[in-house]
Amino acid sequence: MSLRPRGPTVALVDDLRDLLTRAAELAAAHRAGLADRPVARPADPAVLRAAFGGPLPAGPADPASVLEELARAAEPGLVATAGPRFFGFVIGGALPAATAADVLAAGWDQNGFNAVLSPAAAAAEEVAGAWLKELLGLPATASAGFVTGGQAANTVGLAAARHHVLAEAGWDVERDGLAGAPRVRVVASEERHATIDRALRLLGFGTRAVEPVRARPDGAIDVQDLERALGDRPQIVCLQAGNVNTGACDDLRTACELAHRHGAWVHVDGAFGLWAAANPGTAALLDGAELADSWACDGHKWLNVPYDSGFAFCAHPEVHAEAIAYRAAYLTGAGEVSGMGDLTLESSRRARGFAVWAALRELGRDGVAELVDRCCRLARRFAAALAAGGAEIANDVVLNQVLASFGDDARTDALVRAIQLDGTCWLGGTTWRGRRYLRISVSNWLTTEADVDRSAAAILRLAGR
């Protein structure tokens, strides 16, 4: 098959098969080199821009040379986030089958909007959605929207909450908006993730709608203070499974029961922490999670699916659809939500369920449990190695997050910079309870004990200078 239009340059590769093979070669070579290269090299933005830049090309180019040009331009600016020693933010890698599935999804070019555009994408998401609910301990009857990530999942969950609590108050927010509506109280921990605030802004609540609740020293919500903050309806309670600093999970059973006694909708942000439910060793942290009304979870963090991939679950599928639905008639005769496009913020979108299905098929129930367990075990190993070298560990390592300091804030920040420049591993700094810490997140399926030992040794070496 010949690609048209043909550019003015000599064709290096003249069909799509060769082009995809070459792309796969480049991607695989990148992955193969991840374990040995510096995790993040200092990249000069001006050099990168120049490599990508210059004037807007006047005419077409040969696809094969476009690919080579892209690979050359990008290479100095690629960060080994998919590799085994990237411990910054909360970042997963990408499992082999999930990566390949996303390549197929691009090749198939399926639109994930609905089952008419892609019966295959719809079926994959239905099956993967059911698998996810089972793994995460959520009700089998919940709806599952395949969204771009935790931000979108929190926005969808809070949109469903908004619909429900205002409908109960006799207000149709989809038709009439928020002007003149009863004021909705949003009760949320001071330790909520920043994406909750952005969702509240986007949904028209404004961040001043938040009634802040104190957190315990470990970062989980203070349930007594939650009780104090609860008031009259309409109200929404935001809980969290997996604090980005400490990994702490709210006492979901107590908090859900309390919130429901006050007639609140409960949304749980479990971007990475919800995965603790899939591992028998950590499942107790998520006790009571199933009692909530909506949940946000990420695929591209702990499940190690390529970007972008998250899940918006809702215990009340009809509420989910009424808040988000693309059109008014969203129910089929069977009382089921008709389309995946009624559960996500996008209409046309990548068929991202294929990669999720592939990751779950590759790992199975035991593989997911083992992945979560291993990351937690490696986080404890990391903390122990740093503590043995003189670090103060600020958190109880209940999950995959570790906070470490080696003295005052200035010293800790200087150490973070030194670690990032050294390139053995990558991690960021954070402020926790008024002090600066190194923040370590172990979320990658590739990370081994040797990676942790090598990284801890590098950190201790740099700390000793």
Ligand X SMILES: *Cc1c(COP(=O)(O)O)cnc(C)c1O
Output the smallest distance, CB 103 to ligand X, in A: 21
DSSP state of 204: T
Peptide bond into 234 cis (omega under 30): yes
Please provide the DSSP assignment of 109-124 as one string: T-BTT-TTT-HHHHHH
Decide if 300 contacts 294 (C-beta within 8 A): no
Site string for ligand X, 17-56 (x = CB under 6 A): ----------------------------------------
Count other Cβ atoms within 10 Å, centred on residue 382.
28
Closer CB to ligand X, 297 or 385, in the complex: 297
Binding flag, residue 272, ligand X (CB under 6 A): yes
Closer CB to ligand X, 93 or 149, in the complex: 149
- Number of helices and strands in the chain (H, E): 14, 11
Binding flag, residue 312, ligand X (CB under 6 A): no
Site string for ligand X, 342-371 (x = CB under 6 A): ------------------------------
Output the smallest distance, CB 177 to ligand X, in A: 26
Site string for ligand X, 49-88 (x = CB under 6 A): ----------------------------------------
Site string for ligand X, 379-408 (x = CB under 6 A): ------------------------------
Binding flag, residue 462, ligand X (CB under 6 A): no
Please provide the DSSP assignment of 211-278 as one string: EEE-B-TTSSB-HHHHHHH--SSSEEEEEEBS-TTT--B--HHHHHHHHHHTT-EEEEE-TTGGGGGG
Output the smallest distance, CB 165 to ligand X, in A: 21
Closer CB to ligand X, 129 or 149, in the complex: 149
* Number of residues lying near ligand X (CB under 6 A): 14
The residue with tokens 């099956």 is 127
Q: Which region among 149-157, 177-185, 398-406, 413-421 touches ligand X (by CB under 6 A)?
A: 149-157
Closer CB to ligand X, 386 or 399, in the complex: 399
Binding flag, residue 191, ligand X (CB under 6 A): no
Residue whose Cβ sits closest to ligand X: 150
Output the smallest distance, CB 109 to ligand X, in A: 24
Residues 200, 296, 324, 158: is their CA dihedral positive or negative?
negative
Output the smallest distance, CB 445 to ligand X, in A: 17
Residues 301, 303, 307, 310: is their CA dihedral positive or negative?
negative
44, two tokens = 């000069």
Distance CA 190, CA 213 (A): 6
Query: What are the CB-based long-range contacts (under 8 Å, 24+) for 97-100?
Result: 97/358, 97/359, 97/361, 97/362, 98/303, 98/304, 98/305, 98/306, 98/355, 98/356, 98/358, 98/359, 98/362, 99/27, 99/306, 99/355, 100/358
Closer CB to ligand X, 83 or 150, in the complex: 150
Which of 84, 88, 92, 149 forms a contact with ligand X (CB under 6 A)?
Answer: 149
Binding flag, residue 220, ligand X (CB under 6 A): no
* Residues 6+ positions from 312 with CB-CB distance below 8 Å: 144, 145, 147, 152, 153, 156, 157, 294, 295, 296, 320, 343, 344
* CA–CA–CA angle 273, 277, 279 (5° rounding): 110
Residues of this chain, 231-270, that bind ligand X according to CB under 6 A: 240, 242, 244, 269
Binding flag, residue 189, ligand X (CB under 6 A): no
Binding flag, residue 298, ligand X (CB under 6 A): yes
Closer CB to ligand X, 63 or 353, in the complex: 353
Length of the chain: 465
Binding flag, residue 93, ligand X (CB under 6 A): no
Decide if 11 contacts 64 (C-beta within 8 A): yes
Distance CA 432, CA 222 (A): 17
Distance CA 336, CA 329 (A): 11
Closer CB to ligand X, 171 or 295, in the complex: 295
Closer CB to ligand X, 244 or 323, in the complex: 244
Output the smallest distance, CB 285 to ligand X, in A: 14
Binding residues vs ligand X (CB under 6 A): 90, 149-151, 193, 195, 240, 242, 244, 269, 271-272, 298, 310
